[in-house]
Structure 1
């Protein structure tokens, strides 16, 4: 078995599309999105056996001011760890990556994994991983027909969805044309939460790199964007990495209608799964998503600390950020967000 750097998207994505455990974040295009928008250096590695890929992992050399670089798979997302044909191939890949990238002399290596690979027993130059398990993935199995899907929800949930419609809410689903409306809601909500916002060009680049796979759903109240969700079609599922709503409209059930329209879209696309993204256990977003009856998938983030490891104490909640004028927050947000790997 050999370690190889893969620079050919077709070779990489052929393995990703053929592996049932691969996530949308494993697609080669995220290399271009993250590198071009936030300038983190990609290192896409594969374990190759007899000329074929046996395992792969997308890594980025993640830089922060005043801190040593750290190798992360994959910054800004829930999980994009090892995808492979065997535990042996996956362990070989990380052992070789650790040595080849000289992770020992950096801040270390962070691999965000779902349940497909247990890396808790893997030691790298004598180091055992620190394991973060506070986040979980949430998915909903879809019915073939939206009416059947709606009927399967509890009566209270259906009533909340219908109240949103009775309250005069409307919706639109489309591509990049809806990005200004989505971003208006998303940026305002992030500021209100005290979180630096992703750059607008981050989302524009996603549409450019993944034409036809990214979509937006916007909920309106009297023509004003009140809630929005960004979804990504991958294999048999529709994934929702980002969703936001404005506080002043939430009493109108904007969130309920937004999630129903995204689920309805997934049904109409004949997909099998609606992926609600990650949530911290017992957080308010987790409790909201629990209403829809999702299946939980534990996420494990493994960190092997290097000799230069210093924890930056990352958080997306910065209390003083809430007090910034929206225009200032939108300008400063992406410059801060690029250095927060969460």
Structure 2
């Protein structure tokens, strides 16, 4: 049986995408990020090389690991599963197959000039005592189970949450779920302004458009309007019964009108009525504001584990846990850099930002 196992690494362009996507759709632990559309968009928008380690047994796909090779100037490359999101990780039909695929990924990283290999995976739900014991900068994945329909979902919320959703509507805000380049442009108008306010380099508009083309009807754009002006926007990706929201923003000057409450409710209701049974709110710092915001919707914290699986030297132990909390010392220069970035005119920030953002894998 083991002799029939074939494990290999190949560029995305050499992969039969239908077979790969069918396998992803069959895996209960697959996320919307595993879909080939993520790799396609990364390649087209930013020029990074997309790889997939696959395993076949009796000519049937039995394992897949999507990877992106990020080449930074004057620094070693990183092979990551996956960049620009919380997780990707290895999918396999058995632990033995997973181990063989991990070795193949290590060999691929070594063949690419000793690239670092970073595998991002989701873990189990945090126990109550873990939430108390873990450090304050611990990053967790917030997952929410969804009921049969949005009507049941609304009834499950506490009166305070329901009133906050109604508050946005009483303040004259409206919300829609759209698709296509026009919807993406409306989202980007909000998102780019918010990223400038935060002092952070923004993704390119072409990145989101490439995602829209690659995901098709699997990508939804939620928009909140005050009159005709978009004041909130979010992007949701769908894979099978799971939906995730990698990006959401509102305009700070309108936050008193509660656009974020209407935005999240509109997207939650939409994917729930589409048949999704789980909503991934994404990464949050344990106990902080975004954590509490997501928790009120019913999201529960889960471990988020990023591993360095590189073969630093012969005989090295692989699978070293980089950080289940993703905690790192914040550079002393970061506040200064953010203040400088916030002073840029929006067109300048939107031009420079993507040239830097393509190398930032978080």
Taking structure 2 as the reference length, the TM-score comes to 0.83
Q: What is the match of residue 110 of structure 1?
A: 118
Give ranges in structure 1 of 5+ residues lacking alignment. 117-132
Aligned ranges 1:1-342 → 2 under 5 Å: 1-6=5-10, 7-102=15-110, 105-115=113-123, 134-176=138-180, 177-305=182-310, 307=312, 318-319=337-338, 320-342=340-362
CA distance in 2, matches of 1:209, 1:104: 27
Rounded Cα–Cα distance in structure 2 between residues aligned with 1:141 and 1:19:
18
- Give, in angstroms, the shift of residue 38 of structure 1: 0.8
Unaligned runs of 5+ in 2: 125-136, 314-321, 323-327
Q: Please say if residues 109 and 117 of structure 2, whose CA atoms lie closer than 8 Å, have aligned partners that are also in contact.
A: no
Kept after mapping to 2: 8 A contact 1:42/1:58 = yes
**Residue 46 and residue 281 in structure 1: after superposition, are their counterparts in 2 closer, same or farther (change >3 A)?**
same
Q: CA deviation at 1:334?
A: 0.6
Cα deviations by residue, 1:199-256 (Å, 9 ceiling, x for unpaired): 1011111111121111111111122111101111210122211100111011111111
Aligned-pair distance for 1:99? 2.0
Q: Which of 314-323 and 51-60 deviates more? A: 314-323
Instruction: Look up the SS of the partner of 2:361 in the other structure.
Output: coil
Contact 2:109 2:115 in 1 (8 A): no
Q: Please give the alpha-carbon distance, in whole angstroms, between the structure 2 residues aligned to 1:20 and 1:299.
A: 17
**Superposed displacement of residue 84, structure 1:** 0.7
Number of residue pairs the alignment of both structures matches: 324
CA contact (8 A) 1:42 1:59 kept: yes
By how many angstroms is 1:195 displaced? Answer: 1.3
Q: Which runs of 4+ in 1 moved over 3 A?
A: 304-308, 311-318
- Checking the alignment, whether the CA contact within 8 Å between 2:106 and 2:311 is kept in structure 1 is no
The whole-number CA distance in structure 1 between the counterparts of 2:149 and 2:40 is: 36
d(CA) in 2 for partners of 1:212 and 1:314? Answer: 38
